[in-house]
Every structure is written in C-alpha cells, then in structure tokens.
Structure 1
Amino acid sequence: MLGMAGGSAAAVGLASLLGAAPAGAAPGATAAIAPGHRPGGSDKPLRFAVVTDTHINLTNTQSTTWLAQIYAALATREPDFVLHCGDIADTGQPDEYDRYAQILPDALRGKIHYSPGNHDTRWDPTAKQLYRAHFGPAPYSFDAGGIHIIGFDPSEVLQEPGHYGPGGFAWLEADLRRLPPGTPAVLFQHFPLGNSFYYVDDQPAVLDHFAGYNLRGIFAGHIHREDISHFNGLTQVAMNAVLNAPVYYWVEKSTDGGGMPVLQVSRVSVAADGTQTEVPLSTMPLTGTGQGRAQRPRQVLLGRVGAGVLPVTVRLTPDAGSPQVGVQPYPQAVFGGSSAPAYQALTADGDRFTGTVDVSALAPGQQRLQVRVQAADGTWWEQTNLFTVPGGARDPRQRWQYQMPGAAQGGIALAVDAKSGRGSAQQDSALLVAGSSGGQVVALRTDGSRVWRAQTGPVYRQPGADAAGETVFVPSADHHLYALDARTGHRRWQFDAGAPVLGAPEVSQVDGQQRVVFSAGQGLFALDTATGHQVWSVPDSSFSSGRPACDGERVYAAGADGYARAYDARTGQQLWAYQMVTGDEHHLDLYSGWDAVVAVGGGLVVVATVSNAIALDAATGAKRWTVSGSTMYAPALILDDATCLLTTEWGVLTLVHLATGATIWQNNLALRVFNAGVVVNGDTAWVLTVDGKLIGVRLADGARAGWLQHSLVYTFGRPAVTGGMLAVGDQNGVVHGIRLR
C-alpha cells in the first residue's frame, strides 16, 4: 500500500477508463458498486463474471484474440461487474497494457475490477506504479447484492510469490470487522490458497485470519487450470487461464434446494463465432456453518520433540462426524508452487486422534505442523500449529528480533557505531542498517538495540555505505536515493532520479573521490557521495534491480535488455557491451540479467542470467568462461583473486577457479536461494535460503556446518555479518539477529 503516491494521481483518468476499484474504493475503504451498474441489492439478482491470466503479449497474440472474444460475449450478457484475477499482461510492460485497453469494449469500461498477478509486477521497473495508474490501488472492497467483495493484492514488488504480511492482515481485519453480522464475503486475488498450493508464503496466517469471519469464497488464477475445493468454511474456485482457452466464469446469486442463498458458478467457453457454451461447476453457499467448519479441531496438542519425533494429539468436536485426521510437517521448502500432500493418518480413539511424526529432517528452530481433518464428503479443515526443533552445538542461535513496518526486503548494510565513532572495520562497533518497504530505515547495534530510525520511501534493495561507514545510501521506490548520517540517521542529501530506485547502490573510489553508482528506471547514475551532485548519467542503460560494480576505472552493470556493459568511471562513456541473452522484449524481460549483482576482481567481471554465470575480461568484455545454472539472484562472491563462489537459485553452491571457471567443489543444498544469497564469515559461507533457513558451508571443502530455521516467511534481503553476529530481514519486516557460533 506504500509508494502509491506517484501512481494514484495518474490513476484518475486511466483507472476509470479500464475499470479498477469502484469509485471511492481506495485502500482501506469500502464502496458501493459504481454508478451505472445493476443495483444488486440483497432482494435482487446478482450476475457477474470472472476471468484470469489473460497474459497480453504483443508477440504471441492468441490470448489477446481469445480475450476479445470473451469481452464481446460478456458485453451481450450485461454482467453487474467483471472480476479479473491478475496476470493481465505477460510482463507488465506499457505496450501490453495499451494493447489490453484497445480490446476492452465500451460496454465493459468502468465495470471490471482487478487484482494484480506476479506477471504484472515481477519485472516492473515502476514498483507497481504503472499497474496502479492503469487499474487503481489494491486492496479494496465493495458491496453488491448483499455480498461484500474484496479485491486483494498479495503480489510482491520484484518477486514471484504472494505475501499478505502484517500490513495486509491489518487491512483485512479492519475491512471485515465493520461488516454487519451475517454479511457473506467473497475475495478475489491471483494466488489460490490451501489445498496443495503454497503460492502465498504466509497462507497459514491467512487462513487463521479468515477463520474468524464470514468469508464464503475465493476466486483465484495463477495455476492455469480449474481446481474447486471446499475447506475452512469456504469454496475456492481456481480457474483456467484465458492464455489456454477462450473461457470465462459466470456467477449468479441463486438459492439451493433448501431455499438457502448460494452463488452458482459456471464455466463458459466462447467460440470464434460468439457461441457460448455454459457448464455448471459448483455452488458457493452464502449462509450456514460453512463447508469444512464442523471439522475444525477443538484442540491440537504437540509434545516436545525428542530423538527427531514429535508427539501429536488432535481432539475434535462431536459435530465432526467420522473424519480422517492427517498431519505432515509443513512443506516449508516449497517455493511459490504446489506440493502433493503427504499426510500421515493419526489413530482414532473416539474424538481423540494420536500419533507421532518424524521431524528429524527439519532444521533447528520454530517449525509448523500441518493438520487436516477431512469429512467423508471431501470437505475439510486445515490449519498449522507451531513447534520447536532443538539445535545442536554447531548450529546458530537466534538472539534477537526487531520489527519493521512492511517487508525487510532491502537487505542489511554495515555502518559506524554512534557511541564509539569507529568505522565499520571495527566489528565490535558496527551498526546494522536495515530498510523496509514500509519506508523505514533503522540502525541497530549487534545486540538488537535501536540507535536511530529514519523515514524514506519504500526500500526494496540493500543500502550501501561509504568506505568509512559514516554515510548510508538508501535506494527508494519514491524515486530518490537518500544519503543518511550513519551516526544519527539525519538526512545529508537526497537525489531525485526521476524513477523508482530499485537497484542497490555501489560505493567506490574514483581518482581519490568517492562515487555512489546506482540504477533507477532505465538509467544509471553516478553521484558525488559528499554532496549528492550528479557526476554523470546514462539515461538508456536498461532497467536493473541488481547492483553495479566499480574497480575505480570502470563501472560494470547488467540490465533487462540482455547486455552487460562497462562504462568509464569518470565520464560514464560506454567502453564495451556483451550480449548475454537474445530474443524479443518478452524473452529479455524474463531471462536477462535484470536482477544481477555484478562482481569484479582478478581482472574479471562476473555477471549472470537465469541460465548462466559469465566471466568477462574487465578491460575488453571478452568472455573468459561460462558456468551453467541460474546464478543471477544470489550474488556471486569473488573470495580472492583465485576463487569465486557461485550459488544457483536451486541451492547448488560451486566454488570455481576464478581464472578458468573450473570446479573446485560443489554442494547441492536442494533448497531455493534467491536475492539474500550468501555471506562469508571466516572460513564458512552462510547461505540464506528463501524459505527462511540459514545453512553453513565450509569454504575449504563445501561440507555442511550447522543450520537454523530463523523465519517461517520468505527471505529476500541480503544479510550482513559482523563479529560473529549475522543480521537478516524477512518479508514480515522482522530483522533477525543470529549468533553464528
């Protein structure tokens, strides 16, 4: 919800043209259906349509053709409104949204309401500002036909999966709490929940929040296929994609055989000649206890873990009937995907179900047990419960936590201690500086105590610091780079880059002068660190959310146009360019080095795409070697002039000879690793996996050396380590202080 100011003003014209939230339905507001729609009161019929995953793409026009057929057919049916569950466009680029606007018939303008998908925001250099300008902000809600409809947005800037977070839960609670008793609510968003889906990393908390309210249904997309499930008191309809077929879903308020109100959901296929074939799929009850609620456990008791075994007792209510009760360790390692259930049945003794679960493969720290109680009719209740796995002598220990607003996705920088005044090279005096998407920047001591707090715009990448650790440079989606005094947090200067600053800044010496280099929008900028004055800029260097590198002679950067480039560090003049990826705009957006952190050392520059790590000659740009693997997200670490540590997004660590790329050792952790990546402390590399694990790997031979489950939500922010204390942030805005040994 933050960082909307730039998009909200522009949204006034375009959002009303294309649809978006109803009038007055800004974030935090509830609105009546927009003027001109069918009134839809509780005593009148309600008819609406749902579409999803249209993936407008200028290269592959089939989905555009099918969507035009669908919208033409819908215009003849005069629905009260239409819901779009996201992935409107394939890469969220302006020309794709323009093409979408061209096929929208006048009869539907102002009647379509949207929730963004990952394809709308993943590769977006505007940090959702472009989306909001076209379709309006989310979350929002409105009322129609006696039903409360919520358009939620779990999508994340620059990331693939979904996340609600504390701010999302606060909005949801406030929105649902003010509903009159008995009002049914229906939510639409891009990602489906529960069942075998793990696309939203904090979905256990989402389902817990829903449990206290009269949420009756969810419409979702993302999986590009139909999946209808009845659980936790609601009916979820995950839908086929327009990308696959000319199909939409028609929903009408009606009554069941007992005269109780329901929503009837049908699939409608549209032929090229406009013929519509409708097939009933499911009903969504609007009253009663809700499907699966009777199976909600009265009590779940988890014993103490011993010898890798967790004792479990589940007690049910008399209304539960004779269900099956199964448990499984929550599949924490599944990243933004689905996973076939592996529930272990508990033994029944009346309303009491007992058993033990093998948890010996889980990391030390807090873990979750997934509990499912399924009735004979296929409906179920699912929830998770927390337990702790004890650690061993070699495992890290969590020492403190600090809560920030928004997500701590921006990574941690090291600066100077306000009390001692000594530089960051003195490990006992270092400050840990963290930024959040909530626009807060804090400096913490290594014991977790706060020294200062400052406010900027939303922060999505790691701040930088000057050589003395006395100035911190904070990139913000509000178009500014901020220079903050590391001792006090006071603002020394700010620079307006004219676009969201979504790349991490690099600070280096050029002819004895310090420069900070960073990407914003399509541009690359070099500023004087003392004054913030622009030394040079390259306005068309290509979008990058990674970080450039500088060796004092040249600046190296990789971008979304498929190129790695070198620029004169004094003037910004381009010196060479190496084409890493070829293809059309869509292919480049997805597979280029747009998120690469460039590494430089030993006369080489190491860049990466989602397919390869590439070493280039620093002076000429000539390719020296290539190592296969998706090494773009986790930064390469040049350890010395002889070795380089590469980490793929799939958790394969490879130590290579810097000169040749030849493998020294390799370790497959079999866990997803993204932007947080790896940090080195002494003789150990500490790997931050996206699912909240910290794993030690010895640099000498790649052997494992202790681990910890430090968080149960995703981790993208780069860590920092000083004096044996590692700090890392997570998507719930928590900065974790971890003692390594």
Structure 2
Amino acid sequence: MRLIFTVVFAFLASAAGAQYKGKVFLDENKNKTWESGEKGMKGVSVSDGQNVLKTDAEGNFFLPGHAKNRFVFVTVPAGYKLSDKHYLKIDDKVAAYNFGLLPDPTSAGSSVKMLQITDTETFKYNDWIANLKNFSKKQDVSFIVHTGDICYEKGLNFHASQVTPEALGKQIFYCIGNHDLVKGAYGEELFEELFGPVYYSFDAGPAHFIVTPMRSGDVQPSYTVDEVISWMKKDLAATDKNKPVIIFNHDLLTYNDQFVLKGKKDSINLNENNLKAWVYGHWHNNFVRKSDKTGIQYVSTASPSMGGIDNSAAQFLSIEIDKDGIKEIKPHYTYLHDHLVVNSPNASDMVLVKDGQLLISANIYDSETTVKSAKSIIYDEKGNQIATSPLVANTDWSWYGKVPVAKMSKGKSYTIQTEVIYQDGREYIQKQGFTMPLNTPSGKTANAGLSGKSGNDQAASLALKWVNNIKGSVWKASPILADGKLFVATIDDANNLKCGITALDPVSGKILWHYKTRNSVKNALSYDGGIILGTDMEGFTYALKAADGTLVWKKDLGMKSLPGYISGGIVDKGIYYTGYGSYLQALEVATGNTIWINKDWNGGEGTPEKMTMAGEVLITGSNWQSLFGHDRKTGKLLWKRSDEGLRFRSSTGIYAGGKVYITGLNAIFILDPLTGKNIGKIEGTYDFKVMATPLITDKYLIMPTSVDGVVAYDLKTLKEVWNRPTGNALVYSAPYTGPESGTVESTVVKYGKQLLFAASDGYLYRINEDSGKVLQKLNLGAPVFADPALHGKQLFLADFAGNVYGFELK
C-alpha cells in the first residue's frame, strides 16, 4: 500500500512540476558560489514563474514548481546587486539554485537612479554603448533597463555578448519586444536562452520594479497573459504595499487612467497596487505624460542608437525614483563628447554688444556627463586677461554670460577661452579667436527690414543681430512673425515643465510673454486674426491672444491612444486644421467649435509633417500607414496612398502650380491633389525621410535629405543638378539614421539667388542656388530641426538648444 501511495505521489508531483530548493546568500568573496559561512539572506522573494515565496531566516527556499517552469529567479532586494544573474535555468543536474548578492550603495537610500534604453535594433557596436557605460559609472546609476526590440536573432545575440552587466558595469534588465519573439520551438526561446525569463521583478531604493512581456510579436510566444497575471498577483502580494510600483514593458498597456491587465480568464487592476509609472518603448518616440486623475506617469523614449520613427532625437533617459514614484527624468543625447561651440563672439558677424556688455553664448554638451559649471575668459593679443565671466545655464545645452567691453577696441583681435567643469570633476578648455567689429552691433534692427522684399545681392551675408534663449528645446516649431511679434514653441520630453509658447520682440529678441502648455508643442504654430494656435503632444489645442498670451480657448481633441500628436496644424480661411486619425478635426479659430471630425481612418504612427492645403484638399498622413487627401470643407476622405514608399513619410508637401510636391521614403512625388495620382516622380538615390518641405523655385526643386545634405533637381527635367553635403549630425533624428549622417531636417529658403538652411550638424548655411557652392557657414553649435523664417532681409532661426536668433542679410 505504501509503495502504491509513493508512486502515485511521485506521479502527481511530476505532473505538477518538479520541486526546487536553494539559497539566497551574501557572496562575501564574490566568487558566485555559496560556501559554508556565507550569510543567508532572509525575506528575499524567489519564484519559479508561477509561485512566489520568501526565503527563511537562513536564506533557504523551497519552490513547488509547475508544469511550464523553465527558471528559478530572484527579486533582488534594495541595497543589493547580483554577483551573477537574477535567474538560473532549471536543469535536472542542478541540486540547488543559489543566488549570491553583493551590497550596492546605488540601490539603497530614499531614491534611486536608473537608465532606460529601448529599440536599439542593432547588431553593431557603436559609441552609444560607451556613452551608456560611462554615464552610468559617473552618475551613481543603480541599473539599466532595456524595454525591448533588441532586435531579431542578430540583435539578440549581439546584446547578449556586448551590452551586458560586465560590459556596462551595471545591472541591466531586458524586456522582450515584438521583434524579440523569433523563430524557435516557441517565440521567446532565444530570448530565454540569452536573457532568462520574460517576466520577473526586483527592488531598488524605495520602489518595486516589474518587467513584463509583450502579449504577442513576430512569432507566437508560449506564455499567456493569464500566466503573467497569476504570477504578478503573487509577486505583488509578497511586496510591501507602500512601495511605489514601476512597470517596464515594450509597449504602453493603455492610454487610459485605469491600468487593468486582462487575460482570457483573469485580470489585475494595477491602480490598486500602487502603480506609479509605466515605462515603455516600441513607438521610437520621445513622449512623457502624467495622468491628472491617478498621477501615473507614461514614459517613452526613442532609441539611443538612431533617429526615431517620428524623427525623435536619439537618446536614453535617466530616471530618478523616490517614495512617490518618478521624481525626475532627463534625456541624454548620444554620440557627443566635449562638444563646445561659442557662437558669440565667434567671428566678425557673430559678435553681440549691448549696453556696454559683450554677450557670450555657448552650446555645451557631453553624452556621458552633465556640466557643473562653465566660465569664459577674454585675452588680448598679448595674452593679457582683460575680462572673465561665469556662464549661466539656460537649458541642458545653452549657457550665457556677459563681460564689459570697456577694455576692448574696435577692429582688434581677441581670444575667448571657455572652461567647462563636469559633474564628474573632469575639466575641458577650448580657445577661439574673434575680432571686435568696427561697427559694433547694438542689438537693434531697423523695422523696415521686417517687411522689405527679398534682396538679389549675390554678395549679401548673414550678420547676427541678436540671440536669446527661451528656456526650452525647440523641435519643429519654426519661428513665425505676426502682429509685430515672433512666436516660438518649446518641448520638454522629460517632465513637461519647460514646454510652452513664447513671444519675442523681433527687433531685440526680448521675451514678451510665455504661456505654459500641458505637454510639448512639437510642431508648427499657426496665426489668424490676432490669435496664435498650437496643439501639444497630448492633443490639447491652445488659442492665445497674440498681444499678451491670454488664453482665448483650450480644447481637448479627444486623443485616447498613441501615437502622440507631433504633426503641424494649419490655418485656412478662419479654420484651424489639427489632430490625427480619429481626432483629426477642423476647428473654428474664433471659438474653437468643431466643424468636422475625421471618421475615415486611424492607425499607424505619428508623422512630423505639417498639413498641406492644396486648393480644396487637405493633405495629411500617418507614418507606416498612408498619405490622405480630405475635402477641406467636410473632412470626407477623397483618396489615400500607401504605395511606392508614401506610407513611410516625414516631410510636408508643398502646393505650387496646381500640383503637390511631396516626398516618400526615397522618392519625390508630384501629385494631383484631387486624386492623389502621380503626375511625375523623381526616383531618388537619397533618403528623403526628413521633416523638411521641398522648395520650388523658378528653376529648381530643392530637397533636404537624411544622410546627404541638400539636393537640387531641374524643375523641368527632374534631373539632379547638384548635391550639397553637410557635416555629421550632432543629434540623430531622421528615422534609423546614425553616425556619418549629414541630416537636414530644416527647410531651405530662398533669398535672391541664394539659398539658406540650417542643418543637424549645427551650422547655418548660405549657398549659391545654381551650384550649391557654400558662400557662408556659421557654427551655431546645436542642431536645428525647425525651419528658418525669412522676412525681407531678416532671418529668424531657433535651434534645439532653445536659442532663437535674429540675423540680417546685408
């Protein structure tokens, strides 16, 4: 009888899964192996993928197992890090599953710092990995999380060998993305082989962190949502209820306020489990928002290795978490080391003096640290120090200072030495020469220049009249001149604090007013009848009085899902067209009342184009979906195009001569706006997936590119005439572009027989229209994504560092 009972018990145990024992211990000699005398760690959660329990007083655990178990893994406690991996693969030959811990001061305390990377999608080593490693080391970062799309077999194997805790010097935890579910016995097989379980948890500082998997992907996974929910419930039950919970996943669970994860048979309401933030990737964009009702934050970043699908800047995020959840977020743009450009005083046309003071404007950036302080020293020709000034930070790039010019003489040469001290104590010094001009700019410009006609003087050159920083980065919201004021919009892809709409005096650059918006206004502002209009990343539209920034009306367009709104709206005949997909709509400028809402399409990803009005047809798009033509008056969909690369788009179309000129992935199309059909096409050898608009002159079609600067085509023959390369981008933004990309996101404008444009290499170019020959090149020191605004002889420009420039062509 006893024999029969034993056999039956063994059978039942086998059916339910094996049983696993082990120990969590303090690995005092750091050899990754438990040895007699090494202290066991009490109260540490361990799991077999379904069951979760805590270690006893001696650090021992005993897990019952289950039918699908493949790993035993540990929830690393706050104040510790692993001496080896957080998981062990189940093997019949393993007698005990032991996990060694080491003290980690970066994981202790009332707050903790982490880095998020995502969608790296590469199998090649590049500098972003070194940026990540060095930043982590210098900034007391506790751990790094990769939120998925590592990507495919080559990417998975590369990251498993090159982007590791050993290589980075920090714990790195991986999420599985849709492109990480690859061919095998089941979708997650290779991921598990390289990185372990697809769901698990760990503690750091005051918080509890949970890594969760994608529901599905390129290949069907073996896990189910119900299994994940079952484990999460047990994991959270074993966690202190007062700990803030941060969840990592490759995609956002919901845009709504209630984070309810539902399976076929089970569900879990994460709002009831102290959820404070959902950190994700997938969309290749930079977007952060916070729920008004729950305080839960939604945090996304683009890839650190390349430009985003919607032309978001390549970056990684540093995130600080305290007892209340996310305390602070900072973006860090990759591939820059000791970048320092003093753009004023820089040359004879880049020297600004006002009220007896010389303005110092410097763009300073390093991907691996932050700037603690900076100062500039002025020396005369004999090397005598004649002035010094500390520099004050405007943004994470821009620094300003002033020195008296009493000891400087017109026409004389001087040296400016700028000294930077980084947070890690390292110093960097740079010198450059400049000449005090004979006719010192006063910072004032004749009003006549704001409305005069464009000149034809081939010898005209750009001279800086003023520069001012508006305390936030500028993406694609180009300066617009209206009502005697200059209007620019700023972004804040971290904490939503520095985003808004700012009015400046176009003559002096003085800030006249600023309106704080809910989220980043990423693209073009519009003006009509004394009202400035803009729509932010969350789909809120603002109508402000141009005179003083007073809010006329504010409207929630009804955005209920991703992507965030990054397109540019337009005004036509008293109607403001804005929004995307199911919240694309026409609004009455005076009142904000809705005239029509699009009901004909949805889906795809955000595109940074500005809408185009082509007669009675409104043209807009969705990245990775289609280009659409709508009836301007009713919103009815007239046509759509997703063929020939038109579904992969970033740029704005231009309506000229009854035709629409617009780019696809690597071609320029000339379309009939009524039907969307091709009238002509330029088959390019260039990548045109930039945010710029084609320029049509009487002779040429001129278009910026993602990699090769600017190209010009003969308007009649559509044959290439010239190509003007630019330098390597300081910050990569065009989709999937990385090092050695001469990107131009800014539209080219025409002045007489000259062309003007700014590039991602941080330079402002003045070139010959017929040859593309460079006539003048000014180093601003920060990438420019926004289009320049040309008014008569005045050129207004905004860089990514938040500097707004007023130039005069003279």
TM-score tier after normalising by the smaller chain length: 0.5 to 0.7
> Which residue number in structure 1 is paired with residue 366 of structure 2?
204
> Which residue number in structure 2 is paired with residue 233 of structure 1?
none
Structure 1 residue corresponding to 2:783, chosen from 707, 714, 727: 714
Identical aligned pairs, as a percentage? 15
Conserved? CA contact 2:250–2:281, under 8 Å: yes
Give, in angstroms, the shift of residue 452 of structure 1.
2.7
Conserved? CA contact 1:564–1:607, under 8 Å: no
> Which residue number in structure 2 is paired with residue 601 of structure 1?
656
> Which residue number in structure 2 is paired with residue 705 of structure 1?
775
Structure 2 residue corresponding to 1:406, chosen from 461, 466, 472: 472
The one-letter amino acid of 1:456's match is: T
Conserved? CA contact 1:647–1:654, under 8 Å: yes
Q: Does residue 1:54 correspond to 2:148, yes or no? A: yes
Structure 1 residue corresponding to 2:619, chosen from 544, 556, 562: 556
> Which residue number in structure 2 is paired with residue 730 of structure 1?
799
> Which residue number in structure 2 is paired with residue 505 of structure 1?
569
Work out the CA distance in 2 between the residues paired with 1:644 and 1:366: 42
Conserved? CA contact 2:623–2:649, under 8 Å: yes
* Aligned ranges 1:495-534 → 2 under 5 Å: 495-499=555-559, 500-508=564-572, 513-520=573-580, 523-534=583-594
* Aligned ranges 1:396-435 → 2 under 5 Å: 396-417=462-483, 429=484, 431-435=486-490
C-alpha change, 1:382 and 1:638, in structure 2 (3 Å) is same
> Which residue number in structure 2 is paired with residue 680 of structure 1?
750
Give, in angstroms, the shift of residue 533 of structure 1.
1.8
The one-letter amino acid of 1:599's match is: I
Structure 2 residue corresponding to 1:464, chosen from 525, 529, 532: 525
| Partner SS state of residue 207, structure 1 | coil
Give, in angstroms, the shift of residue 502 of structure 1.
1.9
Conserved? CA contact 2:653–2:693, under 8 Å: yes
Give, in angstroms, the shift of residue 517 of structure 1.
1.6
Give, in angstroms, the shift of residue 504 of structure 1.
0.8
Work out the CA distance in 2 between the residues paired with 1:451 and 1:664: 44
> Which residue number in structure 1 is paired with residue 682 of structure 2?
626
1:81-106 deviation per Cα after TM superposition (whole angstroms, max 9, x unaligned): 9999999989999x99x999976964
Conserved? CA contact 1:84–1:112, under 8 Å: yes
> Which residue number in structure 2 is paired with residue 667 of structure 1?
724
Work out the CA distance in 2 between the residues paired with 1:651 and 1:85: 43
Conserved? CA contact 1:193–1:203, under 8 Å: no
Conserved? CA contact 2:519–2:537, under 8 Å: yes
Work out the CA distance in 1 between the residues paired with 2:791 and 2:421: 40
* Coordinate RMSD, CA, aligned: 5.6
1:123-150 deviation per Cα after TM superposition (whole angstroms, max 9, x unaligned): 46893449999995679xxxxxxxxxxx
Work out the CA distance in 1 between the residues paired with 2:598 and 2:689: 23
The one-letter amino acid of 2:797's match is: V
1:496-548 deviation per Cα after TM superposition (whole angstroms, max 9, x unaligned): 2122532111222xxxx332222336542222222222222224254433111
Structure 2 residue corresponding to 1:615, chosen from 651, 670, 680: 670
Structure 2 residue corresponding to 1:693, chosen from 758, 763, 772: 763
Give, in angstroms, the shift of residue 650 of structure 1.
2.1
Conserved? CA contact 1:305–1:388, under 8 Å: no
Work out the CA distance in 1 between the residues paired with 2:718 and 2:800: 34
Work out the CA distance in 2 between the residues paired with 1:126 and 1:101: 31
Structure 2 residue corresponding to 1:576, chosen from 614, 639, 646: 639
Work out the CA distance in 2 between the residues paired with 1:160 and 1:675: 11
Work out the CA distance in 1 between the residues paired with 2:544 and 2:200: 58
C-alpha change, 1:76 and 1:493, in structure 2 (3 Å) is closer
Work out the CA distance in 2 between the residues paired with 1:530 and 1:614: 36
> Which residue number in structure 1 is paired with residue 629 of structure 2?
566
1:213-242 deviation per Cα after TM superposition (whole angstroms, max 9, x unaligned): xxxxxxxxxxxxxxxxxxxxxxxxxxxxxx
The one-letter amino acid of 2:429's match is: N
Give, in angstroms, the shift of residue 556 of structure 1.
1.2
C-alpha change, 1:194 and 1:54, in structure 2 (3 Å) is same
* Aligned ranges 1:92-241 → 2 under 5 Å: 106=232, 123=283, 127-129=287-289, 136=297, 158-162=311-315, 203-204=365-366, 207-209=369-371
The one-letter amino acid of 2:178's match is: L
| Partner SS state of residue 548, structure 2 | coil
Work out the CA distance in 2 between the residues paired with 1:686 and 1:489: 31
C-alpha change, 1:563 and 1:738, in structure 2 (3 Å) is same
Conserved? CA contact 2:500–2:521, under 8 Å: no
Q: Scaled by the length of structure 2, what TM-score is found? A: 0.50
C-alpha change, 1:715 and 1:670, in structure 2 (3 Å) is closer
C-alpha change, 1:523 and 1:651, in structure 2 (3 Å) is farther
Give, in angstroms, the shift of residue 64 of structure 1.
4.2
Give, in angstroms, the shift of residue 444 of structure 1.
1.3
Q: Scaled by the length of structure 1, what TM-score is found? A: 0.55
C-alpha change, 1:405 and 1:530, in structure 2 (3 Å) is same
Which deviates more, 666-675 or 84-93?
Answer: 84-93
| Partner SS state of residue 636, structure 1 | coil
Which deviates more, 516-525 or 477-486?
Answer: 516-525
